[in-house]
Amino acid sequence: MLKNIKWIAAMMLTVSMLVSCKEDFPVDEDGLLITGRSQCYVSNFELLGPDFQTVRVENPVIDTTAQTINVKVFYGTDLKNLYPQFSLVTDAKLDPKITGKEDFSDLSKPKQYTVVSGNRKVRKTYTVNLTVQTP
């Protein structure tokens, strides 16, 4: 009986060593899985105010060919404290990362964000153009 237990333990140890030596999946500098997907686009965009409520007057116009996002916000919106939210194609990531509120107050200099594909080989820079609703 003791011989069987030792044999089973040795087999389990061997199997666990073989499994643990398996090649890891590739990840990027953010710890995200690198996949084979080359698609790279923004599917939706939201802009929230300091109270986390939308400040958009209407749906954004996302042009994936021209790589622009046109957004109209309510008159009186505090443009220095906005939280942009992007919905991207599967496995893509955004650069630079959005870590909090963004300042959109200089309307002459639109913000730019780069979408990076899942395979990390395709990069497309989107320009966010903001306009304020007339009173």
> Which CATH number characterizes residue 67's domain?
2.60.40.2340
Q: Is residue 14 part of a domain?
A: no
Please give the pLDDT value at position 20: 57
Q: Is residue 48 part of a domain?
A: yes
Q: Is residue 16 part of a domain?
A: no
Q: Is residue 4 part of a domain?
A: no
Please give the pLDDT value at position 80: 96
* CA atoms of 61 and 80, how far apart (whole Å): 22
- Give the list of residues 6+ apart from residue 19 with CB closer than 8 angstroms, or none: none
Q: Is residue 99 part of a domain?
A: yes
| Bridge partners (DSSP) listed for residue 125 | 114
Rg, C-alpha atoms of the chain? 24
Please give the pLDDT value at position 23: 59
pLDDT, one tens digit per residue, over 64-94 is: 999 999 999 999 999 999 999 999 999 999 9
Please give the pLDDT value at position 6: 77
Q: Closest by alpha carbon to 25, among 38, 40, 36?
A: 36
Strand 123-132 relative to strand 68-73: parallel, antiparallel, unpaired? Answer: parallel
Per the structure, the count of domains in the chain is: 1
Under-70 pLDDT residues of the chain: 16-23
The range of the structural domain enclosing residue 74 comes to 25-132
Q: Is residue 33 part of a domain?
A: yes
